[in-house]
Amino acid sequence: MLVPDFWFAIPGDIKTLTGGYIYAQRLMELLPTTGWHPRLLSLPGTFPTPSENDLSDTRKAFENLPENSTVLVDGLAFGVMPQKTLDGLNLNLVALVHHPLALETGLSKSETDRLRASEKTVLTNAQTVVTTGPDTARTLIDQYNVPETKIFVALPGTDPAERTLGSDGEPQLLTVATLTHRKGYDVLVRALASVSDLPWKSVCVGSLKREPETTALILNLIESYKLEERIELRGEIPGDKLNSVYMQSDIFVLPSRHEGYGMAFAEALARGLPIVACDAGAVADTVPRQAGQLVPPDDPGALSAALRKLLTDPAARSSAADGAWAHGQKLPRWEDTSKIVAEALKAAS
């Protein structure tokens, strides 16, 4: 049997419908066109909070690889691997960092400090580092001491899409994100409560199971504002159905507290949807000003004002839609992403 050109180490189920896993799925699909043939190396799904047994199993999985193998390791796992998991391995390691784990919101100070120290240490083991956006690259250079020469920025690709048709009646607001604290659903619900005097309906697509405590909080918040008939939490839906929801929407809104890139924003831009979001992390790198409005994070008042503007001013909404559509046509494709990752693999090997 021929030895594959590289191994792609992914924690959990690669078919998970989140931006990071979709990124991995597309790399697995397209990297063979660059001459690199991947083989999936499944790691325990408990990362980034692995048990000692999970770390031991991960070490054994790495030890079973042929010497000098090139291994692309997803940052969700790589960032928390202790040195003993990697010591003595004769492997060419490439770290894939969507955003530093310490920048996840809702963490205690001790958790943040632990994750930052862990990731800073473990990144020294990587021959090269792939980031999904320039904001993350700048953070790794400035705060994690990763040499700029080791970093390859491979923006997520965006597939061509038809321009959205919009809703037939009241404006449909679309949010696409896993229901977690970092995605700012609490800010969204409070902002929507402040524009409840206007006609609109809100459709939210994304897993409700990642942070059960956050989901419970959001459901209670929706009930407390009596918005059960206006905000629909649909959970995960397959890509074809999601495309239909995009096509029926009028405004994309997602008040993330941090993003390493924001693939859902790119998908909205590709369809010409005006965007209301927070100027946090890489969002400003992804969403141009002409495509909508960026407001400060954790500010429901500012978010509601931006929504009210687009809901009540057809000219402003049309202008933002045109700006989104124009920018969306210039976004990188997945073929571009795979070529840059291929360069990182070549440099590491």
pLDDT band at 4 (very low <50, low <70, confident <90, very high): low
CA distances 33 to 36, 87, 227, 331, Å, are 7, 33, 48, 20
Q: Do 297 and 266 sit in the same domain of this protein?
A: yes
Q: Which amino acid is at 17?
A: L
Flag whether 270 is in a domain: yes
pLDDT confidence band for 107 (50 / 70 / 90): confident
H-type helices in the chain, by residue range? 19-30, 52-63, 75-78, 83-86, 109-122, 134-143, 185-194, 212-224, 239-247, 263-270, 283-286, 300-312, 314-328, 334-348
Mean pLDDT within 297-326 = 97
Q: Is residue 162 part of a domain?
A: no
- Give the C-alpha separation, 271 to 164, whole Å: 5
Residue 251: its pLDDT value, please? 98
pTM of this prediction? 0.88
Residue 257 within a domain = yes
Residues 264 and 299 in one domain: yes
The 3-class SS string of 270-319 reads HCCCCEEEECCCCHHHHCCHHHEEEECCCCHHHHHHHHHHHHHCHHHHHH
Determine the pLDDT at residue 19: 87
Query: Are residues 179 and 324 both part of a single domain?
Result: yes
Is 166 among the domain residues?
no
Cα distance between residue 73 and residue 65, in whole Å: 13
- 192 and 227, same domain (yes or no): yes
Is 7 strand, coil or helix? strand
- The pLDDT of residue 226 is above 80: yes
Same domain, 52 and 81: yes
Same domain, 341 and 194: no
Using alpha carbons, list the distances in angstroms from residue 153 to 138, 219, 242, 269: 10, 37, 28, 20
Quick check: is 126 in a domain? yes
Closest by alpha carbon to 10, among 299, 214, 52, 22? Answer: 22
Burial of 291-326, coded b for 16+ CB within 10 Å and e otherwise, reads: bbbbbebebbebbbbbbebbbeeeeebebbbebbbe
pLDDT tens track for 53-97: 999 999 999 999 999 999 999 999 999 999 999 999 999 999 999
| Cα–Cα distance measured from residue 233 to residue 10, given in angstroms and rounded to the nearest whole number | 28
Q: What is the arithmetic mean of pLDDT over 155-183?
A: 94
Percentage of the chain exceeding pLDDT 70: 99
Same domain, 119 and 145: yes
Place of tokens 């632990």: 114
CATH number at residue 255: 3.40.50.2000
Q: Residue 167 falls within a domain, yes or no?
A: no
198 in the same domain as 73? no
CA dist 162 and 181 (Å) reads 31
For residue 164, is it within any domain?
no
Residue 133 lies in a domain: yes
What's the pLDDT at 64? 95
Q: Name the residue range of residue 21's domain.
A: 6-157+333-348
Q: Please say if the pLDDT value at position 168 is more than 90.
A: no
Q: Which two tokens stand for residue 88?
A: 């003595």
pLDDT for 295 equals 97
% of the chain beyond a pLDDT of 90? 91
Other CB atoms within 10 Å distance of the CB of residue 118? 19
Q: Please tell me whether residues 314 and 339 are part of one structural domain.
A: no
- Number of domains present in the structure of the chain: 2
Q: Which amino acid is at 123?
A: L
**322, 342: one domain:** no
Same domain (yes/no): 338, 320:
no
User: Do 192 and 150 fall into the same domain?
Assistant: no
Tell me what the mean pLDDT of segment 160-189 comes to: 95
- In tens, the pLDDT along 24-36 reads 999 999 999 999 9
Model confidence at 3: pLDDT above 60: no
pLDDT tens track for 230-285? 999 999 998 889 999 999 999 999 999 999 888 999 999 999 999 999 999 889 99
CB 265 within 8 A of CB 287: yes
Task: Summarize the confidence of residues 311-326 as an average pLDDT.
Answer: 97
| Residue-level pLDDT at 240 | 85
